[in-house]
Chains A and B, each alone.
Chain A
Amino acid sequence: GENVEQHPSTLSVQEGDSAVIKCTYSDSASNYFPWYKQELGKGPQLIIDIRSNVGEKKDQRIAVTLNKTAKHFSLHITETQPEDSAVYFCAASNAQNYGQNFVFGPGTRLSVLP
């Protein structure tokens, strides 16, 4: 089955700096890669996603890149703000015939220091 690894487990950056979180996956059949942000006491919130037919996607300060050959994808946050502090999870899935389950990475705790 699919296995998703995520690094680093914790990341501290100064406000205004960039943050990068990297994930690798094992199943070449995976075709959808979402990123979720989870704040304390809340459920995960989808912040950006990418499909296997796309190499890069950007949404304001957030971007995701995908390297299918190497089976890794990364989250890039620029101009970080204190409200970006949270736990971030990457996930991989193979969506077929409306059947879809995500395999999540173990998470990265991001702290943005003012």
Chain B
Amino acid sequence: DAGVTQSPTHLIKTRGQQVTLRCSPISGHKSVSWYQQVLGQGPQFIFQYYEKEERGRGNFPDRFSARQFPNYSSELNVNALLLGDSALYLCASSSGGGGYTFGSGTRLTVV
């Protein structure tokens, strides 16, 4: 079975640009969450979606937005990129109310 897949695996953007990260959950999983992991730190919660509805939002600025599609895949958008947005962005999926399975992440570098 395929795990959580994220694309792209790496990308480099310039300050002020916009980026879209994509995530496909494990088949049958209806909950998708996004986390930001800065080097040397634990992941920080950004968003959670369940059945296409936002169920939680972390302490991130409005430049961060997300959505979940009818097939339960998800996109994370970040506008007006800052150097401090450089991080590993992790997507995780769950069938609901339990453990999350993480993807390998998208490494975003902002220059």
Contact = CB atoms under 8 A, between A and B. Distances in A.
Interface of A: 4, 6, 32, 34, 36, 41-46, 49, 89, 91, 95, 97-107
Nearest to A34: B99
Interface of B: 4, 31, 33, 35, 40-45, 48, 50-51, 55-56, 58, 90, 92, 94, 96-105
28 contacts: A6-B42, A32-B98, A34-B100, A36-B102, A41-B104, A42-B104, A43-B4, A43-B105, A44-B90, A45-B102, A46-B99, A46-B101, A89-B42, A99-B55, A100-B33, A100-B56, A100-B94, A100-B97, A101-B33, A101-B45, A101-B56, A102-B35, A102-B43, A102-B45, A104-B42, A104-B44, A107-B41, A107-B42
B96 A98 contact: yes
A101 B58 contact: yes
A95 B95 CA distance: 12
Nearest to A6: B42
Nearest to B54: A99
B72 to A, nearest CB: 13
Contacts of B41: 106-107
A102 B46 CA distance: 10
Given A42-B104, A49-B98, 17 more contacts: A34-B99, A43-B92, A43-B102, A44-B102, A89-B42, A89-B43, A95-B98, A98-B31, A98-B51, A98-B96, A98-B97, A100-B48, A101-B33, A102-B35, A104-B44, A107-B41, A107-B42
A63 to B, nearest CB: 17
